Structure 1
């Protein structure tokens, strides 16, 4: 008999030695620059790639079964969250089916505080939280965005034991949300992209560095094709259209946009070509030449990755902690193909965290009868 199982691979920053326990010759193991052998093999089975996502902090990974509304934490005991989750910095937010939102400490899964819904929604489908932003509604508290099952978007403040939210009025129904360090992206049902927040490095995509206090549509046709996925990184943004084309904008620090970076070339000893256009900031979407159709995208703090239609993984950007999984700690300003340690397994999902990367691989297992 045969069945499907999942391998979960991780590389990058190994906060508090949570991801791998082995020590190197110096007695420390701060990161892994290649893929660590799988976790959760005994935990994940009978799995559909459409029903699983990953959130990661510096020290924790959280597997989320969207279908069964369970969240599992690696590095601490099993957690149950009947709803949806988001990780921002050192905090884990869990929006439950009863409309409440709990704030957890990822290192021990303890609940810092729980906020009862103010009644503006019945249940949230998706949440995201900027890591560092003006607190706005949540003075000296927490701030996040919530999307309910009717496609309505909310700005949520959590402070002084109370939840205060307001509806973000949109022209269209929203289907996806994503938050970076200082900004957020919203995707509408028609495939339009809206941005909101700070634009210190052009991450809002409006052709300037001005902040936006309202959700503002990005005036770009994205190749004349509707956008089907968005991802907000630290100070950059990415969008995938229905043609399999990828668009990037924001800060190209360490080659985070996959575009030529003078700093990367100088640090790696590559010659500077005075005829080449080096990029620091791009304040409006630019199509990235990947020469393959893309089916999945993800932004980390300063690195990115995509999955191609043929199942390959391309990565680029900051590699200080080995988060690119290329076996070294050299930054890349051009997309590079990743070698999976399990070539017979299908790579279904890629999640770029702040300083790490997670791959979900689906493989066929034969069992004795």
Structure 2
């Protein structure tokens, strides 16, 4: 039993999935409004693992046991699998999910239905001779990067980068075919842990805690110096995070975040051009900013989890509290305010015992303990 008690199902803590933010395609709820305060989406049965697989502009996809659920523009068939498959690394675009991986490194792609009465299906593309993929991510500019699954004793990461989803599919189905080679191939010492993408760049976390970035260097989005020795289009280490033992990264818009083992949060980049505000702690920062999160008593708080949307950031602090900052035009901060932008961190009211946080482009999702 958890130390703080609470609702349980078969000895496992029960949770609720809540969301706030842009709902223009009904990708959060059936009603038309953008929920500006966190509202329950699913009363989750703890016996069925629930996973928000993809949160995009128009579609939200999550998994519950053998079933795939989708809300919004893209409708997925719910009877997608005959056996339990653990899906991860969902990637897509404004239209919906394009694909994902399973826990064994197999690639699944979204296939269009044959008739209007059917839903899209996530279909496994892998065969016994297909490459095994470790992680995969799609940037907003259409580029896709992936890492290859390593042997248990492997210590050299291979990264393939493609100009488009179509180029990825051509390569995967015929890796040695003429013209099917990746646009770029990078090698980095170590073992990959997380690979993410934002509007124009990629960020890679290694098991040793090192962080690499590459891609579009505008708006300080790489968090590192650019030069002949470390060009923007090749993975370069974020020196400001050296020795900090980073264990989690998050990415969205033109911003990245990194969370260290000592519960310190580092962010870099900027809000998108045209957004009416800027996040205060990112102002006058050349590269990477250390976030000093405080509560109403001005006490400094450790950070336990972080997620990044297009122009907003949400974190879980010690005490399982949620704080958010940035764009709020669609209520994505969940604070209930009509303000379009919050420059300073604000605690989300009436929300306690937050277990996990995630962000879509203009939305935020949280798992809280069910009471």
Shorter-chain TM-score bucket reads 0.7 to 0.9
Cα distance, 1:156 vs structure 2: 4.8
| Aligned partners of 1:198 and 1:211 also within 8 Å | no
So what's the TM-score if we normalise by structure 2?
A: 0.75
Cα distance, 1:213 vs structure 2: 1.9
**1:165-176 pair list within 5 angstroms:** 166=182, 167-176=185-194
**1:232-311 pair list within 5 angstroms:** 232-252=251-271, 258-259=279-280, 279=283, 282-290=285-293, 291-311=300-320
Instruction: Kindly indicate whether residue 329 of structure 2 is the aligned counterpart of residue 315 of structure 1.
Output: no
- Find the aligned partners of 2:181 and 2:190 in 1 and give their Cα distance: 20
Q: Deviations over 1:144-185 (max 9, x none)?
A: 424525484432544276125655311211111111111111
Instruction: Kindly indicate whether residue 160 of structure 2 is the aligned counterpart of residue 155 of structure 1.
Output: yes
SS in 1 for 2:364: strand
Cα distance, 1:238 vs structure 2: 0.6
SS in 1 for 2:25: helix
Instruction: Kindly indicate whether residue 178 of structure 2 is the aligned counterpart of residue 177 of structure 1.
Output: no
Instruction: Kindly indicate whether residue 196 of structure 2 is the aligned counterpart of residue 189 of structure 1.
Output: no
Where do 5+ consecutive residues of structure 2 fail to align? 1-6, 172-179, 294-299
Cα distance, 1:8 vs structure 2: 0.8
**1:217-228 pair list within 5 angstroms:** 217-221=237-241, 224-228=243-247
Instruction: Kindly indicate whether residue 223 of structure 2 is the aligned counterpart of residue 205 of structure 1.
Output: yes
- Find the aligned partners of 1:20 and 1:216 in 2 and give their Cα distance: 41
C-alpha RMSD over aligned residues: 3.4
Cα distance, 1:121 vs structure 2: 2.8
SS in 2 for 1:33: coil
- Find the aligned partners of 1:256 and 1:5 in 2 and give their Cα distance: 38
Give the number of the structure with larger relative contact order, counting CA–CA contacts within 8 Å between residues 6 or more apart. 1
| Aligned partners of 2:131 and 2:148 also within 8 Å | no
- Find the aligned partners of 1:118 and 1:206 in 2 and give their Cα distance: 40
- Find the aligned partners of 2:112 and 2:34 in 1 and give their Cα distance: 22
- Find the aligned partners of 1:287 and 1:315 in 2 and give their Cα distance: 16
| Aligned partners of 1:33 and 1:323 also within 8 Å | yes
Aligned residues: 321
Higher mean Cα deviation, 166-175 or 7-16?
Answer: 166-175
SS in 2 for 1:31: coil
| Aligned partners of 2:211 and 2:241 also within 8 Å | no
So what's the TM-score if we normalise by structure 1?
A: 0.75
SS in 1 for 2:37: strand
SS in 2 for 1:32: coil
